[in-house]
Chains A and B, each alone.
Chain A
């Protein structure tokens, strides 16, 4: 299979027939999914449906047993490690907010900036005006300008979620994978996060995993429902939420 020299698909992300099993448990079962450039996609599904495992596969943390995972139509992600995939332009926000707690908000963003990440470049790094301005802009977007010098560990849960989204922005990836961005947020924060993601989607391709149906509805994008590691239904939120099987396994009657 030679995919390096021909563009096999126009999709930003292309998953076909992906299988993963852990000790006989089929976490991902013949999963096929495509994400077009500039699209925002919401992924829903019950616990254990394989949502996080799917993100692990895309970001190189887990290697699939079989199947194709193509990024930008040309790159086979199953052969690369986390660092290489991040360098290619796939950013990830984790389910549990993971920021560098003992460093400041500003430094968290500085670390996330998509500049040369080699040992030599970071050792001899000198801050530039352009970098400082980018950090300022991100801080403004995620509403943390006031908290820029605070330690990330001292932020509230919602602020940490935003800081992590901010780190994704600083990374400026082509594709953002956002795992449960509004878990533990208040209604107001949830609303603001939806606005933020919509804003980000103007310039980036985004995949959001979320349980909060109000939030998913607010995003107003195409929805994919996963169940037992495979796609159960796909379409608008209304189509998916009226699907018999989705109601049965996920939404409940």
Chain B
């Protein structure tokens, strides 16, 4: 298996992936809006919203694959960055409600009026402006990841210990956001959104546009990840994953590399969360639940870590299964099924769906080229000792 073939195969799956996402991003909203409701090819609005959720999950999975698949950082708290991005967007949406809230207060969101708050806390300032909220979607998760990573990576916290503290981080945030006096709506979180950039969030057109935007974000996120992992920096990340101390002895500042991808990854997760919130219409502290982050890691494992395409595919496949199974009589057993899926994939498909497929494709291709070169050599009357494996 030569690396050339490997990159070519990755390029092939990357091209297919991008084409499929782009096609979905264009065709699904068009079919939803233009075709008459109830016709065979029309995608109903509830499905647009549901699939939009999957696309956001795919972005989250991509961000986890970037750090776990390529740099060996297993974050079991990535849901925290997703939720923080979601809260930043939720705060913008809350400020857009204005006087249409139950209490009709033009500045304070309902829950603050309910808590008898006199004025808006300082950390809510600026969220009435979309550009500011959009910036915070990147800055808040990015800054938390940067500070957290700076402390953790500099102290050389790695492996399972890092996973545990990321889990603790998301749990701490869960507890904090549950508190009413923390100022983010406590248990209920942020909901009852009215409009985004002046468009009604419930309207079909808005939902279709949000779906298209999510697909666009997935494409951009994928291209950024591809650019990172196929650069020389990507090779350094793999080196860190496979032999961290060796990389240090070559003169690479490993903690800077980890900090870089961890922060990029957190920003991506934040964007995923921000697109998720207007599509599901609510953000509450349960998004910080440690279980969510673990589930996201399972998506990546199922799809194939270190393949990017696999991570996105895994997120969609597992969540489709989740929707399918949790809506029937099998609902109480979903967590057992998820656990079993994880164990089966680890045992039988350790490379995940895409990783296994790529390995199979490469080996069959290798056989074909080997056969071709042997027959060519036989014609020339020389034997070529090429790729003896």
Contact = CB atoms under 8 A, between A and B. Distances in A.
Nearest to B1: A151
Nearest to B227: A123
B242 A83 contact: no
A101 B242 contact: yes
Contacts of B251: 83, 86-87, 114, 117, 171
Nearest to A94: B246
B246 A98 contact: yes
Interface string A206-245: 0000000000000000000000000000000000000000
A86 B252 CA distance: 8
B389 A154 contact: yes
B363 interface: no
Given A61-B245, A83-B248, A117-B252, A103 B233 contact: no
B254 A111 contact: no
Most chain B CB atoms below 10 A, which of A112, A117, A118, A150: A117
B233 A125 contact: yes
A204 interface: no
Nearest to B228: A123
Interface residues of A, number: 35
B124 interface: no
B249 A59 contact: yes
B245 to A, nearest CB: 7
B71 to A, nearest CB: 12
Nearest to A86: B251
A102 B235 CA distance: 10
Contact of B250 (A101, A102, A112, A154): A112
A122 interface: yes
Most chain B CB atoms below 10 A, which of A111, A149, A150: A111
B130 interface: no
A118 B256 contact: yes
B148 interface: no
A68 to B, nearest CB: 22
Given A94-B246, A119-B257, A154-B389, A103 B231 contact: no
Contacts of B253: 83, 117-119
A122 B254 contact: no
A82 interface: yes
A209 to B, nearest CB: 15
B248 A82 contact: yes
Q: Which 4 A-B pairs have the closest CB atoms?
A: A86-B251, A125-B232, A82-B248, A122-B233
Interface of B: 1-4, 228, 231-233, 235-236, 238-239, 242-243, 245-254, 256-257, 260, 389
28 contacts: A61-B245, A81-B248, A82-B245, A82-B248, A83-B254, A99-B243, A99-B246, A100-B239, A103-B235, A104-B2, A111-B250, A117-B251, A117-B252, A117-B253, A118-B253, A118-B256, A119-B256, A122-B232, A122-B236, A123-B232, A123-B233, A125-B231, A125-B232, A149-B3, A149-B4, A151-B1, A151-B3, A154-B389
